Amino acid sequence: MPMIDILNLLEKLEILDDIKSWDRLREIRNSLAHEYPFDIDERVENIQMALIGYEELKKIYQNLKKFYEDKVNV
């Protein structure tokens, strides 16, 4: 199954708010994994991006957990 179909399904199941949130997470991951800033301001910016990504992942996890619990308790 193509990733876009998986993301559409996750959005339909309300696990993802929207597909763009996943794209943002990928952009954050790519920035953190492939950039090695020497400037302190860039490092701080990367830490801030990581925290934003953490909050987004936490929300996705909570949605997934709720979805699972709703299905198990049916």
Question: What are the tens digits of pLDDT across the range 12-62?
Answer: 999 999 999 899 999 999 888 877 778 888 888 889 999 999 999 999 999
pLDDT of residue 74: 64
Task: Give pTM, 2 decimals.
Answer: 0.80
Q: Quick count: other Cβ atoms within 10 Å of Cβ 28?
A: 19
What are the boundaries of each domain within the chain? 3-72
Q: Which amino acid is at 48?
A: Q
Which tokens sit at 63? 């949605």
Residues 46, 10: Cα–Cα separation, whole Å: 27
At residue 37, φ and ψ (nearest 5 deg) are -70, 140
